[in-house]
Amino acid sequence: MMQNMFLKVAISNLMQLKNEAYNEFEGGLVMRYTMLISIFFILFIFGCEEQKLIDYITQESPATVEKKQDFILFENNNDGMSRRNQEYDSQKKGKLVVDPNYYTQNEFKRGEVVYYKTPAIDKKKYPRLNPSEHNISRVIALPGEVVQIKKGQVQVNGKKLNTFYGKALSWGLDEEEYFHSINQPGTAVCDDLCQKTMKNYFNMDMDKFKVPDNHLFVMGDTWWRSIDSQFYGPLPMDLVTGKVLGYEEK
């Protein structure tokens, strides 16, 4: 909308210059043309700037919350949501608190971590996967949105999802950080095959598709360790049991 406004102003000024060209001094015309060129330059920069979706609300680390009577305690032993500090790992951090009534009064929002019944997975296509009955993942795209992954970066409706959960990470490390950290004293060993595999992971692609009505596109924070919409497609909302609020307060 803003871009169209700039364009209309520029065209209007151009037409006005045409009509007034013979009635103005040469110096005045130069000034007017300079202003017009400046407008087109601003328009060009504005049009070339990458559009982004930014999440200023979602925090990387879960909060500590008090368990109320109707809340669910969930012991998560899946590391698909783990980051640098092993977030959402019940063995390290304790049980997770889930509010089963949250979405009866609130809409789903991007960035929220949901607790849900795991959909059926195509065993012929993924014979080695053995997901748990229930799982947790983060909401990446909402109904009606078009989601895509290009070179390890999530795009929603053609906009870069510019947040900590919008790109391929391994335990919270991006590609540069990961390869700088491996094969160092006291760190993980990654041979040539491992490095090739991880290189492909950090630059993975996923074809774009539109999330159907009453569905969510969900992923873990460490994609290569997570069983999520990459494998079973968009998650039906009616399989969501509640919202993960954080760790149980001790």
Find out whether 121 and 131 touch, Cβ atoms under 8 Å.
yes
Residue 53, strand partner residues = 161
Q: Please, how many CA atoms are within 13 Å of residue 126, restricted to the half-sphere of its CB?
A: 11
The better pLDDT of the pair 112, 33 is held by 112
CA angle 188/192/193 to nearest 5° reads 95
> Which two structure tokens, joined as six digits, stand for 211?
């999330």
Neighbours of 108 (CB within 10 A): 16
Instruction: Please measure the distance between the N-terminal and C-terminal CA atoms of the chain and give it in whole angstroms.
Output: 51
User: Which residues face 117 on adjacent strands?
Assistant: 134
The top-level CATH class assigned to 53-168+203-248 is mainly beta
Average pLDDT on 27-53 reads 51
Each residue's pLDDT tens digit, 113-162: 999 999 999 999 999 998 899 999 999 999 999 999 999 999 999 999 99
pTM: 0.79
Q: Tell which residue, 170, 140, 151, 168, has the closest CA to residue 55.
A: 140
**Do 95 and 248 form a contact (C-beta atoms < 8 A)?**
yes
205 HSE (CA, 13 A, CB side): 3
Measure Cα distances from 61 to 4, 83, 89, 143, 238 in Å: 40, 9, 11, 26, 26
> 146-150 and 134-141 as β-strands: parallel, antiparallel, unpaired?
unpaired
| Lowest mean pLDDT across 16-20, 109-113, 147-151 | 16-20
Distance CA 163, CA 76 (A): 24
What are the φ/ψ torsions at residue 26 (nearest 5 degrees)?
-60, -40
Structure tokens that stand for 127 in this block: 């014979």
Is residue 247 scored above 80 in pLDDT? yes
CA–CA distance, 130 with 128 (Å, rounded to integer): 6
What pLDDT was estimated at residue 13? 54
Q: Where are the domains of the chain?
A: 2-49, 53-168+203-248
Res. 7: pLDDT tops 50: no
